[in-house]
Amino acid sequence: MKRRAAICVLPFLLTACAGEQSVLDPAGRDAQVLSDLFWVMLAGAVVLWLFVNGLIFYVTRIAPRPLGRRAAEALIIGGGVVFPTIVLGALLIYALSEMPNQRASGEGLEVRVMAHQYWWRVEYWPDGASEPVISANEIRLPTGQRSEITLNAERVIHSFWIPALGGKTDLIPGRQTRMSLEPVRAGQFRGQCAEFCGESHAYMAFGAVTMPPEEFAAWLEAEAAPAKPPEGNEATRGAALFLSEGCGACHAVRGTAASGAVGPDLTHLASRRTLAAGILPMEKAALRDWVSDPARFKPGVEMPGFDHLTDAELEALASYLMGLT
Amino acid sequence: MTDTFSDAPRNAPRDDDSGKVLDETLQGVYPPSEEMLNRPVDPALRARNEQQLRAAWKTPTGWRYWSAVNNSEVGRWYSLTAFFFMLCAGVLALLMRIQLAVPDNDFLSADRFNQFFTMHGSAMMFLFAVPMFEAISILILPAFLGARDMPFPRLSAYGYWSFLIGGCFVLGSILFNASPSSGWFMYPPLATEQEGVGPDIWLLGLSFIEIASIAAAVELIVGTIKCRPPGMRINLMPLYAWYVLVVGAMILFAFPPLIAGDYLFELQRSLDWPFFDPDRGGDPMLWQHLFWIFGHPEVYIVFLPSIAVAAMVIPTAAQRPIVGYEWIVLSAVGVGFLSFGLWVHHMFTTGLPSISLGFFSAASEAVVIPTGVQIFAFIATLMAGRVKMSQPVLWIAGALAIFTAGGLTGVMVAVAPFDWQVHDTYFIVAHLHYTLFGGMVFPIIGGIYYFYPFITKKKMSDRLSKWAFWLTFSGFNICFLPMHLTGLRGMPRRVASYPEAAGWDWLNMISTVGSFIIAAGILVFAWDLLRPKSRQPLTERNPWNAGTLEWSHDVPAEAWGSRSVPYVTSRYPLWEEPKLQERLDDGRFYIPDAPEGKRETIVSSAVDAVPQAAVPITGPTWCTLWAAGFTGGAFILPVFQMYWAAVVSGVFAIACVIYWLWTATAQVPKKPMRDAGLGLKLPTYVSGPNAPGWWGVFITMLGDSTAFASLVFGVFFFWTARPDFPPADAPLPDAVLAALSGLGFALAWGATVAARRFNRHGRAGLARGFIGAAVALACGAGAALALTVLVPGLEPASHAFPAVMCALAVWTGAHTVLGALMLLYCLAGSWFGKLTPRYDADLRNTTLYWHFLCLSGVITALLLGAFPRLLA
């Protein structure tokens, strides 16, 4: 405890708390409240720890005057009953009254997330929409408003968590759970599955992007549009390969014959920050490696490897996919 | 000895007016007068008595050593085995730390990493933390109570062998790359769908060990309640004994929900009954509830024994009695109760309603109060006395430093909204290791340093202790303190790897370095514990100048434990009764001899510890080992789908147990009364509520009923959680047959009670007739129960509703078979003279079992026959 306090108090180490996935570097209202709550609780914990252990040190190392029975009982009742009742009562009243705020229902946008082993299907349902905008492995949210997030899982339990924005909620097969998030700052963050979900649990993350509402609206409009046609020879060959190799059986690329729903929607794949649910950078080389042997990066993945393709073919496929912005 | 008492023992049983046979009660003087206690014992008689005792308590030698059942042997094997399993689980942790030392590491594959963390958690919990408490308690509890052994030594041995077999089986799977890999919490649907034998190894192997754990808990509770020395009223018990009671009771009520869960889980895995499959009316959340109703008390089951150790060490360190004894007892009981109301705090992120989260948040915080009371009572004791700093105290102080830090982070995570952030992150990993190291590992090691001279009559090294302490303590903080920050920076638990960009690399490297420093500390400790000490001198008799009875044992050690069973009038007899040691050694107290060459123990009343009997207890045997081996077969073979072999093994196990019971328990004594010394004559046979065996059955059945109640909870859970329970067009269990079965249970129970009554009134023939009728009725009730689900054609694989109905029927059916077997055992006993009107313990215990069976049979009949119709 002492050392932990020292680490976070020292200014040059304050950067230790920063990060795309850090609870202590909040960009959402809920995360901000919880981060503040943490610092308060930490300060209290350090004081109490020093008090109790100082007392133990004192009584074991520095022989005090023996304590009378009444004083001893006062210590037991005061330290064990009265003091914690007051402190914990105050803490509970404050913290539990915050709970409804963080569970409030969202307004405007609803994001429906379906967790698969090991990726996320994401549907955006703007207010009044009759059809969703479908995406995968990335969450975008407008700042300054609370968005509703509806959660489902396909086969096993997962947990949806963007530390910079707020707490996590599990996705459970056969049940629908919900949460809401209210980003206050635009930025790029990382979320991750927090409930152990199988062999590649460690490789089930996602990018999270918060944007000012007007930017978000523009992005959503672009996201709703069909895929761009391939540009150039290589990409066109790639597009043909995509269909002839049967990729479309699992993946949808809206505006083409590929309409599979088993795997992630790839219509605007290259506009995302990461590949393969937050584990690879969105780069051509990574894409090529991934298509050739996905299990190397994500053991237990359902997507088969395409290592029978030649380097040129893989290159073409990657060119096509990188053009899907 | 005998000359102080003139009454001739009565051989014939007494009758009351109605012809009912009465039990003998104690005759003669109790409590003993000071004058009687001062009367010296003739040295020749003393030598003869010692000779008798030594012969009766002789530990088998050579290879027969392994047939020993004495608590000092079994306790030693048990604790060393648990320590060995802890080292294995620790090695797994080190391998995981190597994998996580640097980002994107490929030292371990993801699958192997998942196996390792699953086994690390499972082994630390099921093979180390809980068994270690039971092992140490078996080893030292009798000595706290001035008893010579546990009440059921063979049960301890059976529990130990089961633990060894089950532990090796579960842990050994790691060597074959076949371990479970779904986490120690085994959440379905992930764990129900995992391929291979891993989950089955977990479910069956650990169920086997849990049953052994419950057996040990039953024995510890009975030992504490019924085997205290005369005069040690319940408010004079050493605090350790109070904690044994509380923890034993917690095991009794916490493990059965998990066993019920395991039962459902294994039915789903082997027979595809869909309890946790949402597509067929099941619900994965049912498992989470059952698991955490077990899992949270489990934390306190692990933690309280260490507080118990501290409660023994601290008064000795302060050289004065504990301050606030009553407060500590109340707090321990309070923690025990509260711990059953907290389980949902492991499920704060599952989307439960805010109102339940608020309730469970507050309940979780409330645990601080009893825990705080205990810690402040220790501090007050240290303040009230003059502390002599010794090795055990250093470990206890280190434990408090770590535990208070873990407790304070516990206060943070009990706040539901904050938990939404840190749940399932390294913050929790840090928190739980702070509580478990501070609340278990450090106090246990402190306790080992403290009790080592009692167990081996040698001291461990002061110098090595300091090395071990400072290595473990600093390594621990280097390893786990940074993990709080790792978690807050977003690293989830149970990840096999992490990307460099996440920025968790340097924190993880520090933790890995720390983990190896811990390992070095534990190794120093292990060396100090195990290094040969044959050239080292024996310690003095009471090296720490402690006040409790265990330090009265002889140096060098004698297998008899306590030379005579003392009459105790204070909490710290060695401090407050200066003549006690001399009187004890002289054999002036109770049962200082073994006239029939039998091992015996004093049975006393539950609250006031008035002596009630001096009964024989069981000695060395191989049948417990055989029984454990065959029981192991019955649990292990189904993992490999060898169901018939498992059934055969199970039958052999039952045969071994019957042999063991028939030849060694509730034997008709040669003499009904025994001269116990100090002018007191005690019966040598007890039955009914005075008998340890009766308490054993009663306590076991409380646990068993808890498992049954968990299944019933399952029915109601489905009803509230699922709209399609029962599904609209599903066949319902047959109401008429269910009613018949309920009636059958009631009649069989009535016949059993009648048999017991008639037997007591000396009408053995009539009693046999009623036992026979009860067997027939039990078979009829069981058959009706089976037909209740078979006739309407329930298909348990189709939906959770028929599945849970059939699961209830199978559960109660299996208990009916056992009930019938017990009745047949009594019938045989009556036939062959083992069970007589006076010596009827077997029949009384069977009747007690039938009270519970009748209740669960009727409830099953109602749930099958009436409940679905009320819903439909």
- Residue B23: pLDDT over 80: no
- Residue A125: pLDDT over 80: yes
Q: Is B177 on the interface with A (CB under 8 A)?
A: no
| Residue among A75, A168, A178 whose CB faces B423 most closely | A168
To the nearest whole percent, how much of chain B has pLDDT over 70? 98
What's the rounded Cα separation, in Å, for the pair A127 and A122?
A: 16
pTM over 0.80: yes
Query: In which residue are the tokens 């910079």 written?
Result: A164
Q: Are A63 and B493 within 8 A, CB to CB?
A: no
Q: Give the residue from chain B lying closest to A278, CA to CA.
A: B499
Q: Are B421 and A23 within 8 A, CB to CB?
A: yes
- What is the average per-residue pLDDT within B547-569? 92
Nearest 5 degrees, angle CA B843-CA B846-CA B851?
A: 125
What's the rounded Cα separation, in Å, for the pair B719 and B714?
A: 9
B347: which DSSP letter?
-
Residue pLDDT, tens place only, B166-199:
999 999 999 999 999 999 999 999 999 888 899 9
Query: What phi, psi does B593 have (nearest 5°)?
Result: -135, 180
In this predicted structure, which of B9-13, B413-417, B650-654 has the lowest mean pLDDT? B9-13
Domain with CATH 2.60.40.420 in chain A: 233-322
To the nearest whole percent, how much of chain B has pLDDT over 90? 89
| Residue among A177, A195, A202 whose CB faces B424 most closely | A195
Provide the pLDDT confidence category of residue A5 given band limits of 50, 70 and 90.
Answer: low
What's the rounded Cα separation, in Å, for the pair B710 and A222?
A: 53
- Residue B792: pLDDT over 80: yes
Provide the pLDDT confidence category of residue A57 given band limits of 50, 70 and 90.
Answer: confident
Burial B30-53 (b: 16+ CB within 10 A, else e): bebeeebbeeebeeeebeebbebb
- What is the average per-residue pLDDT within A236-254? 95
- What is the average per-residue pLDDT within A6-14? 54
- At residue B283, what is the residue type? D
Q: Is B498 on the interface with A (CB under 8 A)?
A: yes
What's the rounded Cα separation, in Å, for the pair B77 and B74?
A: 5
What's the rounded Cα separation, in Å, for the pair B147 and B601?
A: 7
Q: Quickly list DSSP for A221-249.
A: HHHHSPPPPP-SHHHHHHHHHHHHTTGGG
The fold for domain A233-322 equals Immunoglobulin-like (2.60.40)
Give pLDDT, residue B11.
Answer: 42
Provide the pLDDT confidence category of residue B5 given band limits of 50, 70 and 90.
Answer: very low
In chain A, which residues have their Cβ closer than 8 Å to the Cβ of B423? 159, 167-168, 194
Which element (helix H / strand E) includes A116? strand A110-116
Handedness of CA B14, B17, B19, B23 (dihedral sign): negative
To the nearest whole angstrom, how far is the Cα of A275 from the nearest Cα of chain B? 13
To the nearest whole angstrom, how far is the Cα of A96 from the nearest Cα of chain B? 6
Mean pLDDT of chain A: 92
| Residue among A63, A157, A192 whose CB faces B492 most closely | A192
- Residue B783: pLDDT over 90: yes
Query: What phi, psi does A205 have (nearest 5°)?
Result: -120, -170
What's the rounded Cα separation, in Å, for the pair B804 and B801?
A: 5
**Bond from prior residue into B31 cis (ω within 30 degrees of 0):** yes
Nearest 5 degrees, angle CA A205-CA A211-CA A216?
A: 100
In chain B, which residues have their Cβ closer than 8 Å to the Cβ of A20? 490, 501-502
Residue pLDDT, tens place only, B355-382:
999 999 999 999 999 999 999 999 999 8
Residue pLDDT, tens place only, B283-341:
999 999 999 999 999 999 999 999 999 999 999 999 989 999 999 999 999 999 999 99
Provide the pLDDT confidence category of residue B18 given band limits of 50, 70 and 90.
Answer: low
| Residue among B389, B400, B415 whose CB faces A91 most closely | B415
Within a 10 A sphere around the Cβ of B796, how many other Cβ atoms? 23
Handedness of CA A292, A295, A300, A301 (dihedral sign): negative
Query: What phi, psi does B14 have (nearest 5°)?
Result: -85, 155
What's the rounded Cα separation, in Å, for the pair B346 and B288?
A: 9
Give pLDDT, residue B386.
Answer: 78
Give pLDDT, residue B27.
Answer: 86
- Residue A141: pLDDT over 90: yes
Under 8 Å CB-to-CB from A114, ≥6 apart: which residues? A120, A121, A122, A123, A152, A153, A154, A171
Provide the pLDDT confidence category of residue A63 given band limits of 50, 70 and 90.
Answer: low
Give pLDDT, residue B545.
Answer: 92
- At residue B350, what is the residue type? T
Q: Is B358 on the interface with A (CB under 8 A)?
A: yes
- Residue B7: pLDDT over 50: no
In chain A, which residues have their Cβ closer than 8 Å to the Cβ of B187? 156-157, 195-196
Mean pLDDT of chain B: 93
Q: Provide the terminal-to-terminal Cα distance of chain B, rounded to the nearest Å.
A: 74
Interface test with A, best of B493, B495, B498, B507 (most A CBs within 10 A): B495
- Whose CA is closest to B21, among B866, B848, B844? B844
- What is the average per-residue pLDDT within B551-580? 92
Q: Give the residue from chain B lying closest to A94, CA to CA.
A: B415
Separation in Å, CA A272 to CA A142, A160, A165, B64 = 16, 18, 19, 71
In chain A, which residues have their Cβ closer than 8 Å to the Cβ of B386? 63, 66
What's the rounded Cα separation, in Å, for the pair A118 and B370?
A: 43
Query: What phi, psi does B385 have (nearest 5°)?
Result: -105, -170
Residue pLDDT, tens place only, B671-697:
999 999 999 999 999 999 999 999 999
To the nearest whole angstrom, how far is the Cα of A212 from the nearest Cα of chain B? 24
Give pLDDT, residue B194.
Answer: 87
- What is the average per-residue pLDDT within B391-408? 94
- What is the average per-residue pLDDT within A233-248? 95
Give pLDDT, residue B10.
Answer: 42
| Residue among A84, A88, A178 whose CB faces B351 most closely | A178
Interface test with A, best of B275, B426, B488, B498 (most A CBs within 10 A): B488
| Residue among B189, B357, B405 whose CB faces A155 most closely | B189
ipTM over 0.90: yes
Residue pLDDT, tens place only, A71-109:
888 889 999 999 999 999 999 999 999 999 999 999 989
- Residue B728: pLDDT over 50: yes
To the nearest whole angstrom, how far is the Cα of A311 from the nearest Cα of chain B? 26
Structure tokens at B245: 């009671």
- Whose CA is closest to B592, among B665, B686, B691, B680? B680
Q: Are B420 and A159 within 8 A, CB to CB?
A: no
SS3 A317: helix
Structure tokens at B385: 């006395």
Q: Are A80 and B421 within 8 A, CB to CB?
A: no
Structure tokens at B234: 């319940």
Q: Quickly list DSSP for B556-571.
A: S--TTSSSSB----SS
Handedness of CA B177, B179, B183, B188 (dihedral sign): positive
In chain B, which residues have their Cβ closer than 8 Å to the Cβ of A72? 323-324, 380-381, 383-384
- What is the average per-residue pLDDT within B238-249? 95
Provide the pLDDT confidence category of residue A62 given band limits of 50, 70 and 90.
Answer: confident
- Residue B8: pLDDT over 50: no
What's the rounded Cα separation, in Å, for the pair B438 and B306?
A: 9
Inter-chain contacts counted by CB atoms under 8 A, chains A and B? 286
What's the rounded Cα separation, in Å, for the pair B201 and A269?
A: 42
Nearest 5 degrees, angle CA A211-CA A213-CA A215?
A: 60
For residues A80 and B376, is the Cβ–Cβ distance under 8 A?
A: yes
- Beta bridge partner(s), residue A138: A207
Give pLDDT, residue A13.
Answer: 55
Residue pLDDT, tens place only, B466-502:
999 999 999 999 999 999 999 999 999 999 999 998 9
Query: In which residue are the tokens 């090991």 written?
Result: A118
Give pLDDT, residue B1.
Answer: 35
Residue pLDDT, tens place only, B190-216:
999 888 899 999 999 999 998 889 999
